[in-house]
A and B are shown apart, each in its own frame.
Chain A
Amino acid sequence: MVVKKPWRKILYENQPYPDNYTDDSFLRDLRTNIKPVSLGEALWGATLLLEEFCTVVAFVLVYVYLYNEWIQPQSIFTISSVFTALGFVFYRLVYSKDVQVNLGHDLRTLLIFMVFGHLFSPVLHTLTDTVSTDTIYTMTFFMMVIHLIFFDYGVSAAIVSNSLSLSAAIFASICLASRLSSAYHAFILITVAVELFVLFPLFRSKIKKSFYIIGPLVLSDVYFLMNSSVLFMIVFILTGVFINIGCPVLFVRYQKYKSNIYGPWDEAIVDDADSVIEGRNK
């Protein structure tokens, strides 16, 4: 019996096999679902969403406290300013190179915001005054959903739009500002909105995943929700558990239903084009 030459996956030679012959080694290089996401990665990734969700809840809590006059606007301003200043100092000292150059610029931005915020707060306060309260709350809900959908969680996707996300959040804050009792209240609410939706994400994007951000955020939200409404505290905790435990577990479990195939026939993938371009510019 003549032993055949082993089959090779080539077209440029005549081989002693029929044309429709498929060897066992034909799909040897096929890989499915390379690099599955581990549970730990998924859990940490979900904290990014939970952080932003907690930020939104914290903002609405500030509104509720201001609306019911449970706290003086002055003290909210003081507390938020202290936290912002601490975060600013930390951010500049740890993540910036030339502190002095940026400091003047930052102070000027702060001054412009304070002056124009005070000047325009009566306008912003009465801007949506004639709209009914139910509409305002529904609008705020949808704007916050848009904010959460388009927020930049650090995953490179085409849907991410920082400007749309920020505009939605600011629009929601202006909607809510019209329900408050005075223009000063409105100014405080918009200041808190800017701190929470502009400065805080900048700060967190440098810190990335940290237990020191998500822990205090969740605990303070739970505490203040408990003081205002036990029902919504329960809803918040359930939502948090769903976001940060339910979804990642489902995501990791459902990965087995994926069937992405990879192999030597794939076109070349530039792994991280952005970093390559950045490295060249340096």
Chain B
Amino acid sequence: MPEHTPAPTPSRAVYGFAMFLSFKTFFILYLAWAVLPEEWFKYVGITCLPQRYWAVAIPIFLLTVLAIFAFVIYPNLGLFMTPSVDDLRTIKDSTCVRENKTNLLSPKNSEIKCSCKNEDRCFKNFERNCGDYVSKAIPVLQDLNIWEVSDHLYFK
């Protein structure tokens, strides 16, 4: 089963070349239809062509759609989705820290007892001393409350 692949396979080369040539050909045909006088087509017997109005109208329509989307609709969508300046959402969201103290795991030293014969290789022994590591550890990445930040910056 052939798949879409970025590898330079021979079939991609052939189809790419066919696309290159056919787009050039269709562009020339489009220009001929749009520019040449209609009497010439009638003279050779081609009468079923659409009105040449469409040769200009469809590109203009598409360009207008593009311009409206790029300069009106998408910027306005962005503006609509932005909360107003005094909205609480501009300074706070669900990842914001609620509590001042973070709940980091700290095992209770007294609870851990072990039945290992080799004390040096006991893993619980490591956990027993783990309290030091927890207190020195880098905290989890999270947002800071804006008032906490202001408190630190301007009131001390």
Which positions in A face B, CB cutoff 8 Å?
Answer: 35, 37, 45, 133-134, 137-138, 155-160, 229, 231, 247, 250-251, 254, 258, 260, 269, 274
B13 within 8 A of A: yes
- Choose from B3, B21, B44, B50 the contact partner of A158 (Cβ within 8 Å): B3
A260 to B6, CA, bound (A): 12
A146 to B103, CA, bound (A): 64
- Choose from B12, B17, B44, B45 the contact partner of A157 (Cβ within 8 Å): B12
Within the complex, the shortest CB–CB distance from B138 to chain A, in Å, comes to: 33
A143 to B11, CA, bound (A): 23
Within the complex, the shortest CB–CB distance from B44 to chain A, in Å, comes to: 6
Q: Which A residues are in CB contact (< 8 Å) with B10?
A: 35, 37, 155
Contact A250 B45 (CB under 8 A): no
Contact A156 B48 (CB under 8 A): no
B8 within 8 A of A: yes
Contact B45 A155 (CB under 8 A): no
A33 to B140, CA, bound (A): 52
Q: Which B residues are in CB contact (< 8 Å) with A274?
A: 1
Q: Which A residues are in CB contact (< 8 Å) with B13?
A: 258
- Choose from A37, A134, A157, A250 the contact partner of B48 (Cβ within 8 Å): A134
B36 within 8 A of A: no
Most buried by A among B3, B5, B11, B12: B11
- Choose from B7, B15, B21, B44 the contact partner of A250 (Cβ within 8 Å): B21
Within the complex, the shortest CB–CB distance from B12 to chain A, in Å, comes to: 7
Q: Which A residues are in CB contact (< 8 Å) with B44?
A: 231
Within the complex, the shortest CB–CB distance from A74 to chain B, in Å, comes to: 29
Given A37-B10, A160-B2, A247-B21, A155-B48 contact (CB < 8 Å): no
B14 within 8 A of A: yes
Within the complex, the shortest CB–CB distance from B42 to chain A, in Å, comes to: 13
Contact B8 A157 (CB under 8 A): no
Within the complex, the shortest CB–CB distance from B13 to chain A, in Å, comes to: 7
Q: Which residue of B lies closest to A35 (CB)?
A: B10
A160 to B14, CA, bound (A): 13
Q: Which A residues are in CB contact (< 8 Å) with B48?
A: 133-134, 137-138
Contact A260 B8 (CB under 8 A): yes
Given A138-B48, A138-B50, A157-B21 contact (CB < 8 Å): no
Q: Which A residues are in CB contact (< 8 Å) with B2?
A: 156-158, 160
Binary CB contact string for chain B from 25 to 50 against chain A (1 if under 8 A, 0 otherwise): 00000000000000000001100101
Q: Which A residues are in CB contact (< 8 Å) with B7?
A: 269
Contact A254 B17 (CB under 8 A): yes
Q: Which A residues are in CB contact (< 8 Å) with B8?
A: 258, 260
Most buried by B among A45, A137, A157, A274: A157
A176 to B10, CA, bound (A): 37
A158 to B5, CA, bound (A): 9
Within the complex, the shortest CB–CB distance from A258 to chain B, in Å, comes to: 7
Given A37-B10, A138-B50, A155-B17 contact (CB < 8 Å): no
Please, could you name 19 A-B residue pairs with CB atoms under 8 Å apart, sorted by A?
Answer: A134-B48, A138-B48, A138-B50, A156-B2, A156-B11, A157-B11, A157-B15, A158-B3, A160-B2, A231-B44, A247-B17, A247-B21, A250-B17, A250-B21, A251-B17, A258-B8, A258-B13, A260-B8, A274-B1
B101 within 8 A of A: no
Closest 5 interchain pairs by CB?
Answer: A260-B8, A156-B2, A157-B11, A155-B11, A134-B48
Q: Which B residues are in CB contact (< 8 Å) with A45?
A: 14
Q: Which residue of A lies closest to B44 (CB)?
A: A231
B4 within 8 A of A: yes
Within the complex, the shortest CB–CB distance from A152 to chain B, in Å, comes to: 11
Q: Which residue of B lies closest to A242 (CB)?
A: B25
A116 to B2, CA, bound (A): 35
Within the complex, the shortest CB–CB distance from B67 to chain A, in Å, comes to: 28
Binary CB contact string for chain B from 92 to 117 against chain A (1 if under 8 A, 0 otherwise): 00000000000000000000000000
**Would you list which residues of chain B between 112 and 130 have a CB under 8 Å from chain A?**
none
Q: Which residue of A lies closest to B3 (CB)?
A: A158
Q: Which B residues are in CB contact (< 8 Å) with A158?
A: 2-5
